[in-house]
Amino acid sequence: MNLVYILAVAFTASLLVYLSGKISKTLRNFLAVLVSLGMAASVIYLYNHSFAIHLSTGFPDFPLVLRINTLAWFFALIISVVGVLTVIFSLQYIKNKKRTDFYFLMLLLVNVSMLGIIFSGDLLSFYIFWEIMSWSTFLLISYNRGAAIAAGMKYIIMSLAGSAAILTGILSLYTCFGTLIIAELAGNLSLTSPAYTLFIFLLFFTGFGIKNAVWPFHSWLPPAHSEAPSPFSALLSGTLIKIGTYGLIIFFYVILGMKKFIGLKYGFFNLQYMLCWIGAFTIVFPTFIALLQNDAKRLLAWHSIGQMGYIILGIAFGTSTGVAGGIFHIFNHAAFKGLLFLSVGAVEYRTNGVRDLNSLGGLLKKMPVTFCGALIGACGIIGMPLTNGFVSKWLIYKTLIVEKYPFLAFAALLGTWGTILSLYKFLHNIFLGQLPEKYKNIKKAPFTMQFPMLVFSLIIITCGVLPGIPLKIINRIITSFGLKALDISIWGVISETGALNTVNIFFALAGAFFIIWLIFKLWPKETKIAQADNYAAGAAVPRDKYNYTVNFYNPLYRMISPCLRDFIDEFYIRLAKITRSLCNSIKLVYNGDTGYYIMYIILFMTALIFIQIKWSIW
């Protein structure tokens, strides 16, 4: 199936969805699901295809190339599947809000433009689709109005700065090599001077790093992901920030080439090693800031930044296990972050917009499917065995330890413990504990909201128990980069150094759990008691006052919150303030008063005439 047709049909169909919303809501819902399903189906159909299509614009030097290979297929699969599930989730979620047609248009536009980025084979079409994605994301982040507008502003300004950097890089590459097609650029950069490589590297790292929310460029992510509507937050965290990683992978492994990337040294500075350290810092610092958040979506948003650190660490590390772990983590993170944001969305939908961790509690009995989804997502992001997060994190740890980089391994492992603490706070403050009076009559989440959560949970567990299925595809990707292929079976990776035998670990854990469960059940049956029948030192449980959620990690909060402010954010805000005061002082001169302008013109003309009379220059 022709890639052009897919993109063209998807674009027009999005506009059609908007127009059909004016006619009838059910028609629009049906069309929206159909379009996203169509995209997903066509992507799945393109499995194992590998071709490129050249389109010509009017200019002979700038053909538009659309291509698909295993890397593109992998990313396209993630994007389309997450897209379908978020569209299904939004059907009920967006029901009572305003401008819902606009919402669906923008959602589908974001999906299509992301697919366009993945499918583009030359940098011009890449940039075009990148820009479409940027502004449609901006419009959707500020969909909710209110605080979301400021969040969207922050996002679009940083994104535009990144796009400017990318554009500069593209122009520079064109003037240097005369072509923009990625396949032809590959390997060419090794022929130039190292200074030029560093220049291009910095430009592209800034551009893609801003989208990817690596540490110095991350400050747009927490407000943007928390103020966006929840299904779109799932799409943002799940796929949009991975597009930055896609750009980085294309740059490091395709344009720059494996050999050049591994040994990229400048005097003392090993650029690759510095990238690993940026990744390590991104893991630890934002995960601990996530501990201190009181807003459920902000906590998850800070977590997204942390998990991006794992991906950057894996990809920048350069060994086949590391890169495989990083790319697999892209897939896994889309699954569990999507799941977590969708469960927050379900809670938000039922409680009319409450996502403050300090006021929820005890929703376990009222929304059991949502809780199961959140639990499986939490287990995945922690990296519990039997979930797919375990496999990808294991690959990253193993390569760090085997290649003797214990400090990086320590940063990665510390990130896991920070994740456990913050995800437990998330689970506990929303689902566990006592139920407040005002949520006594909450209903379960509707089926269209439960269905995406079930699908995500299934993906997490299946890819956890049988990781060989995605690992086969990832193996093909890393061999296309020139790395050695991993030795995999359907159960996991087999290798020599202290083998990861995921089979043994899974079966041991499952067996131990099963046997202990059996012993537990054999004993006389326990009686079930109500939630309110709780130990309260002999008193009857006081309603609404018997829950501990506020300041959940108070001792740690007191100790580390002075050091864990977001310095980069404060720096950017300072920068913005300085720019604004500079512009204000320029306004003293350009003050909009025509009289002043006429004075300036007259004075300047007088000065010119005076100079001409005195010194006769012209």
Partner 1 sequence: MDRNQISKWIKSPVKMGHKYSLHAVYFCTGCGIIEIPPSITARWDAERFGVIPVATSRQANLFLITGYVSLKTLKAIIRTYEQMAEPKFTVGFGSCPINGGMYWDSYNTIKHLDKYIPVDGWIAGCMPRPEAIFVAVTHLWTLIDREMADGYKRYRKNYKFYRSNQEKLYGKLEWPPLFQKDGAK
Partner 2 sequence: MALKLLLTLIIALVTGLFFLGLSRKMIARIQWRYGPPLIQPLIDIIKLLSQKSMTHGGLFNFGLVLSLAGSVILLLFIPLGEWCIMNKSGGLLVIIYLMLLAPFGTALSSGAAANPNASIGISRKLLMALAYEVPLLLILLTLMTYYNTISISGIIVKQQNAGWSLTILPLLLSGIAYILILPAVLGIRPFAIVKAPQEIASGPSVEYSGKFLAFAEIQHAFQTYITIALFVNLFLGGASNPGYFFLKMLVVFVAGILIHTVFPRFRIEQAIKYLWRWPALLALAGLAVVVILDKI
Q: What is the closest distance, in whole angstroms, from the C-beta atom of residue 533 to partner 1 in the complex?
A: 7
Cross-strand bridge partners of residue 64: 55
| Residue from 61, 533, 544, 570 in contact with partner 1 (CB under 8 A) | 533
Select from partner 1, partner 2, none the partner in contact with residue 497, using the beta carbon and a kind-dependent cut-off of 5 to 8 Å: partner 2
The CA-CA-CA angle for residues 106, 107, 113, to 5°, reads 80
Is residue 540 near partner 1 by the rule CB under 8 A?
A: yes
Is residue 524 near partner 1 by the rule CB under 8 A?
A: no
DSSP 510: H
Q: Residue 433: which of 421, 442, 424 has the closest Cα?
A: 424
Q: Are 491 and 466 in contact (CB under 8 A)?
A: yes
Q: Measured from the CB atom, is 49 or 543 closer to partner 1?
A: 543
Q: Tell me how many residues contact partner 2 (CB under 8 A).
A: 69
Is residue 555 near partner 2 by the rule CB under 8 A?
A: yes
Select from partner 1, partner 2, none the partner in contact with residue 538, using the beta carbon and a kind-dependent cut-off of 5 to 8 Å: partner 1
DSSP 492: -
Determine the interface stretch with partner 1 among 56-64, 444-452, 532-540, 586-594 (rule: CB under 8 A): 532-540
Return the HEC string of 453-471.
Answer: HHHHHHHHHHHHHCCHHHH
Phi and psi dihedrals of 51, rounded to 5?
Answer: -155, 170
Q: Residue 124: which of 189, 197, 205, 181 has the closest Cα?
A: 181
Q: Residue 215: which of 36, 411, 23, 409 has the closest Cα?
A: 411
Q: Which two tokens stand for residue 237?
A: 């965290």
Where does residue 47 rank: exposed (0-12), middle (13-18), buried (19+ CB within 10 A)?
A: exposed
Q: What is the closest distance, in whole angstroms, from the C-beta atom of residue 534 to partner 1 in the complex?
A: 8
Is residue 504 near partner 2 by the rule CB under 8 A?
A: yes
Select from partner 1, partner 2, none the partner in contact with residue 499, using the beta carbon and a kind-dependent cut-off of 5 to 8 Å: partner 2
Q: Measured from the CB atom, is 196 or 546 closer to partner 1?
A: 546
Q: What is the closest distance, in whole angstroms, from the C-beta atom of residue 575 to partner 2 in the complex?
A: 33
Q: Tell me how many residues contact partner 1 (CB under 8 A).
A: 8
Phi and psi dihedrals of 481, rounded to 5?
Answer: -85, -15
Q: Are 453 and 339 in contact (CB under 8 A)?
A: yes
Q: Measured from the CB atom, is 54 or 365 closer to partner 1?
A: 365
Q: Measured from the CB atom, is 524 or 592 closer to partner 2?
A: 524
Q: Are 275 and 256 in contact (CB under 8 A)?
A: no
Select from partner 1, partner 2, none the partner in contact with residue 602, using the beta carbon and a kind-dependent cut-off of 5 to 8 Å: none
Q: Measured from the CB atom, is 529 or 563 closer to partner 1?
A: 529
Report the distance separating Cα 361 and Cα 153, nearest Å.
Answer: 33
Neighbours of 461 (CB within 10 A): 17
Is residue 548 near partner 1 by the rule CB under 8 A?
A: no
Determine the interface stretch with partner 1 among 98-106, 267-275, 446-454, 537-545 (rule: CB under 8 A): 537-545
- Give residues 391-410 in contact with partner 2 (rule: CB under 8 A): 394, 397-398, 401, 404, 406-407, 409-410
| Residue from 60, 267, 538, 555 in contact with partner 1 (CB under 8 A) | 538
Q: What is the closest distance, in whole angstroms, from the C-beta atom of residue 156 to partner 2 in the complex?
A: 37
Report the distance separating Cα 203 and Cα 248, nearest Å.
Answer: 11
The CA-CA-CA angle for residues 236, 238, 244, to 5°, reads 75
Pairing of strands 269-270, 51-56: unpaired
Report the distance separating Cα 435 and Cα 534, nearest Å.
Answer: 13
Q: What is the closest distance, in whole angstroms, from the C-beta atom of residue 244 to partner 2 in the complex?
A: 29
Q: What is the closest distance, in whole angstroms, from the C-beta atom of residue 528 to partner 1 in the complex?
A: 9
Is residue 34 near partner 2 by the rule CB under 8 A?
A: no
Q: Measured from the CB atom, is 98 or 525 closer to partner 1?
A: 525
Report the distance separating Cα 307 and Cα 283, nearest Å.
Answer: 6
DSSP 66: E
Neighbours of 518 (CB within 10 A): 9
Q: Residue 94: which of 266, 219, 284, 230 has the closest Cα?
A: 230
| Residue from 175, 441, 527, 616 in contact with partner 1 (CB under 8 A) | 527
Q: Are 460 and 388 in contact (CB under 8 A)?
A: yes
Report the distance separating Cα 395 and Cα 320, nearest Å.
Answer: 10
Is residue 539 near partner 1 by the rule CB under 8 A?
A: yes
Is residue 531 near partner 2 by the rule CB under 8 A?
A: yes
Select from partner 2, partner 1, none the partner in contact with residue 540, using the beta carbon and a kind-dependent cut-off of 5 to 8 Å: partner 1
Determine the interface stretch with partner 2 among 145-153, 213-221, 546-554, 602-610 (rule: CB under 8 A): 546-554
Q: Measured from the CB atom, is 120 or 434 closer to partner 1?
A: 434
Torsion of CA 503, 509, 511, 513, to 10 degrees: -160
Determine the interface stretch with partner 1 among 20-28, 528-536, 551-559, 594-602 (rule: CB under 8 A): 528-536
Q: Are 318 and 482 in contact (CB under 8 A)?
A: no
Is residue 438 near partner 2 by the rule CB under 8 A?
A: no
Is residue 549 near partner 2 by the rule CB under 8 A?
A: yes
Q: Where do contacts with partner 1 occur on this chain (CB under 8 A)?
A: 527, 529, 533, 535, 537-540
Q: Where do contacts with partner 2 occur on this chain (CB under 8 A)?
A: 362, 364-365, 375, 382-385, 390, 394, 397-398, 401, 404, 406-407, 409-410, 413-414, 416-418, 420-421, 424-425, 427-428, 431-434, 497-501, 504-505, 508-509, 512-513, 516-517, 520, 523-524, 526-529, 531, 534-537, 546-549, 552-556, 558-559
